[in-house]
Chain A
């Protein structure tokens, strides 16, 4: 059995091409079923960054042709962007994908869940089952043993990670949003996913604020009433289009008196800035602007790249293990035939000796059975091990053919 991969990803195709072959999970399930009918086993992995078809098939099946045809039927312009990999290379590629090493943002965590979903929706047999299980294991191992997925990879994630440096757990922390634009909404959603609560949305146009506030189940305020909310907020996220600072040092200073020493974390995503930089000088106030956050992201992406080298070694070792296992499959039929032939001979010889064994007790008969079976096993043990070793070293087919020839197993191929 061979493994063939045909796919397209962000490396070779722009989003306008990728979106034309992207599949929802139900469609991916149907495609896998369809391909498996021809080839044997198939899995379709489709995310926003890639659509890949993994097919396990016999040597004489043109799985690559079928998979290529399927993708080109959906989008003929893909022809130059498609990549095709086989066996060991396909396995290494999938392991890298699962570990986030092939992602747009190295180490991103979402891909592991997407690989699992594709596997669950696939039409798998022994080969792809093993391949995908090992890919999931490699992905988890790379994340557990390296820091590839630890640091934030976007400005909203960096803002949330910094807020956690101040508050630890963000559960129940009150967020005050200044501005109702997309940037502040993304940052708010990241904080929300970590347990924080969007308490108030303030905007120059209250109607826009109310619109966003409704989505978060929070209150809406005009910008000029923000100061009263400062006394209760834990995190302030600002991204208005105001040409002047929305919050000045003296506004925050007045609010600090009522805060009784509780820290205030402020994120300024606006250009020009919404928050007076002098706020950072106040005791208990921590102000980060867009440049600070981008520097944190750049540093953490750098550290992800450094960790990627260790993760590459982990997935390479896993791919090598898979290769050894897959190669051993080449000699499995020959080993099975050899053992079946040996067992057949053993039983035939015992049957011939039946007249001489007739007088044995049941216990003696069991002993004779056991001794003969042990002789056969011991004789075949070393050849079996050697054949598996040879398979791992790429000589498996030669050895399997030699064994078939020497023991007359040709007909059982």
Chain B
């Protein structure tokens, strides 16, 4: 059953990723195709996760592949809420190819493995993965901000052609997505610490990322660190989470 849902989800995500690449040539048609790919893929993946949860005795996404599957679901879900519209088609170009690739990797990694029926594990992994997915989306938004900012500075002739969201919109979204994700991430870390998780490299990385994202939000509020500075801090926080092995080391 899970197999039957995996392939439609992967095909739909793949279709969306390819369609987003076509945005640069035929924006209207490509965007419509891409958005439908995202919607269908996410529904199929939701079904897949539902079947895995139904078939499992405990928390089904404790393995690295399961956590990656859950991460993609959160990330695409957040993208559906925040940005799955023609205005944000360039964000889709950053999100969907990565989502399709990670989902494929999760599929190769094997089927869901349960790890007891511990509520702490479910909460810890669920919240950390949700936070991480939000950070990934915030990083994609920050990347889009920096790209658009650079274009506005360089003043290319076709500046108005692609019509990405305005700088202020992107800046505000980076802050909001970061704040919501930081909340989920903080709760996930707190659950892990209550559970008595050892302080290893992955936890240190998670705490460092927490500090960076938290600092970005505080500096924004207190010292007006917006725009480029906020975008660079968001990317730095995401790099810490991604490259200190959090997804594989911490959740595996």
Stretch from B1-9, B53-61, B163-171 forming part of the interface with A: B163-171
Determine whether the beta carbon of B160 is less than 8 Å from that of A162. yes
Which residues of the other chain, B, contact A284 by a CB distance below 8 angstroms?
A: 227-228
Residues 215-244 of B contacting A (Cβ, < 8 Å): 220, 223-230
Chain B interfacial positions (CB closer than 8 Å to A): 148, 152-153, 155, 157-161, 165-169, 220, 223-230
Contacts of B152 in A (CB 8 A): 162, 165-166, 286
Residue contact A300 to B160, C-beta cutoff 8 Å: yes
Asked if B167 and A166 make an inter-chain contact with CB atoms under 8 angstroms apart, the answer reads: yes
Q: A165 and B158 in contact (CB under 8 A), knowing A260-B223, A260-B224, A261-B226?
A: no
Is there a chain B Cβ closer than 8 Å to A186's Cβ? no
Interface residues of A in 259-303 (CB under 8 A from B): 259-263, 280, 283-284, 286, 288, 292, 295-296, 298-300, 303
Q: How far is A151 from B159 in the complex, measured between Cα atoms in Å? A: 11
Would you list which residues of chain A between 149 and 183 have a CB under 8 Å from chain B?
Answer: 151-152, 158, 161-162, 164-168
Taking a contact as CB atoms under 8 Å apart, the answer to whether B167 and A263 are in contact is yes
Question: Do A295 and B157 form a contact, CB below 8 Å, given A165-B148, A168-B165?
Answer: yes
Q: How far does the alpha carbon of A263 sit from the alpha carbon of B225 in the complex, in Å?
A: 12
Considering the chains assembled together, what is the distance between the CA atoms of A262 and B223 in angstroms? 12
Q: Which of A166, A262, A298, A303 contacts B166 (CB 8 A)?
A: A166
Q: Who on chain B is nearest to A260 by CB?
A: B224
Residues of B within 8 A of A259 (CB): 224
Residue of B nearest to A292 (CB): B155
User: For B168, what are the chain A residues with a Cβ–Cβ distance below 8 Å?
Assistant: 166-168, 263
- The winner among B148, B152, B229 for most chain A CB atoms within 10 A is B152
**Across-interface contacts of A296 in B (CB, < 8 A):** 157, 159-160
Q: How far is the CA of A27 from the CA of B148 in the complex (A)?
A: 51
Rounded to whole angstroms, the CA-CA distance of A280 and B154 in the bound complex is 9
Q: Given the interface contacts A165-B167, A286-B152, does A263 sit within 8 Å of B157 by beta carbon?
A: no
Q: Which residue of B lies closest to A170 (CB)?
A: B166
A298 to B160, CA, bound (A): 12
A303 / chain B contacts, CB cutoff of 8 Å: 161
Contact A283 B227 (CB under 8 A): yes
Q: Which residues of B contact A292 (CB under 8 A)?
A: 155
4 closest cross-chain pairs (CB), A and B:
A260-B224, A168-B166, A261-B226, A261-B224
> In whole angstroms, how far apart are the Cα atoms of A395 and B60 in the complex?
75
Interface pairs (8), CB distance under 8 Å: A162-B152, A165-B152, A166-B152, A166-B166, A259-B224, A260-B223, A299-B157, A299-B158
Contacts of B220 in A (CB 8 A): 261
Q: What is the distance, in angstroms, from B7's C-beta to the closest C-beta of chain A?
A: 35
What chain B residues lie within 8 Å of A161 (beta carbons)?
160
With a cutoff of 8 Å between Cβ atoms, the chain B residues found around residue A299 in the complex are 157-158, 160-161
If A260-B223, A263-B227 touch, whether A165 touches B169 (CB-CB below 8 Å) is no
> Smallest Cβ distance from A141 to chain B, in angstroms?
15
Q: Evaluate whether A288 and B166 lie within 8 angstroms (CB atoms) in the complex, with A162-B160, A261-B227 already known.
A: no
C-alpha gap A162/B154 in the complex (Å): 13
How long is the Cα–Cα vector from A262 to B158 in the complex, in angstroms? Answer: 25
Bound complex: CA of A288 vs CA of B167, how far in Å? Answer: 16
Contact B153 A280 (CB under 8 A): yes
Could you tell me the distance in whole angstroms from the C-beta of B180 to the nearest C-beta in chain A?
Answer: 21
Q: How far is the CA of A280 from the CA of B167 in the complex (A)?
A: 16
Is the beta-carbon distance between A162 and B159 smaller than 8 angstroms?
Answer: yes
Q: How far is the CB of B145 from chain A (nearest CB, A)?
A: 11
Q: Name the B residues within 8 Å of A262 (CB-CB).
A: 224, 226
> Does the CB pair A286–B160 fall under 8 Å?
no
Bound form: Cα–Cα A242–B89 in Å:
44
Q: How far is the CA of A286 from the CA of B227 in the complex (A)?
A: 13
Which of A162, A164, A167, A286 contacts B153 (CB under 8 A)? A286
**Chain B residue nearest in CB terms to A173:** B168
**Nearest CB of chain A from residue B234's CB, rounded to whole Å:** 14
Chain B residues with Cβ under 8 A from A260's Cβ? 223-224, 226
Shortest Cβ gap from B28 to chain A (Å): 9
With CB as the reference atom, state the residue of chain B lying closest to A169: B166
Provide the residues of chain B in CB contact with A261, threshold 8 Å.
220, 224-227, 229-230
Contacts of A263 in B (CB 8 A): 167-168, 227
Chain A positions within 8 Å of B229 at CB level:
261
Given A283-B227, A284-B227, A303-B161, 11 more A-B residue pairs with CB atoms under 8 Å apart are A162-B159, A164-B166, A167-B166, A168-B169, A260-B223, A261-B225, A263-B168, A283-B228, A286-B153, A295-B157, A298-B157
B162 CB to closest chain A CB, in angstroms? Answer: 10
